[in-house]
């Protein structure tokens, strides 16, 4: 059994995000089969309906699709679609928070830009 991060967010959201990460990082290639909800349930020791809710969320967004009688598969184009979605969130989640913290610490805009360039 593996453990889910205990960050208090709904478990189905965490399951959906994990699948998304696997697709983004290429661990789940397009047109390959995704583990079944029962496999997710026993691996993370969660209710199968909760796992199904996470998977279905991705089906609704056409990231995954269902092959009758076989299981869930990653859609063609899913990776690009997810990249776009995550890029939109990137500004909200990382940039805004970073600028706020920088302000608190008195880091100027130039210094921040320099840091990014040094790393990049």
Contacts with other proteins, residue ranges (CB under 8 A): 1, 4, 6-12, 38, 41-42, 44-50, 53, 92-93, 96-97, 100
Nearer to other proteins, 9 or 109 (CB): 9
86, 65, 48, 82 alpha-carbon torsion, rounded to 10°: -10
The token pair at 31 is: 């047109």
Nearer to other proteins, 38 or 76 (CB): 38
Q: How far is the CB of 76 from other proteins (least distance, A)?
A: 29
Is 78 in contact with 63 (CB distance < 8 Å)?
yes
Nearer to other proteins, 8 or 26 (CB): 8
What residues pair up with 67 in beta bridges, in sequence order? Answer: 71
The token pair at 85 is: 């979605």
């Amino acid at each position: 059994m593996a453990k889910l991060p205990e960050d208090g967010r709904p478990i189905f959201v965490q399951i959906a995000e994990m699948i998304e990460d696997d697709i983004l990082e290429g661990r789940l290639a397009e047109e390959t089969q995704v583990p079944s909800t029962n496999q997710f349930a026993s691996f993370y020791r969660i209710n199968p309906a909760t796992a199904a809710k996470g998977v279905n969320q991705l089906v609704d967004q056409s990231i995954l699709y269902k092959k009758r009688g076989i299981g869930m598969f990653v859609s063609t184009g899913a990776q690009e679609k997810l990249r776009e979605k995550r890029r939109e969130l990137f500004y909200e989640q990382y940039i805004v928070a970073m600028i706020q913290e920088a302000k608190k610490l008195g880091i100027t805009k130039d210094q921040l830009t320099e840091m990014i360039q040094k790393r990049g």
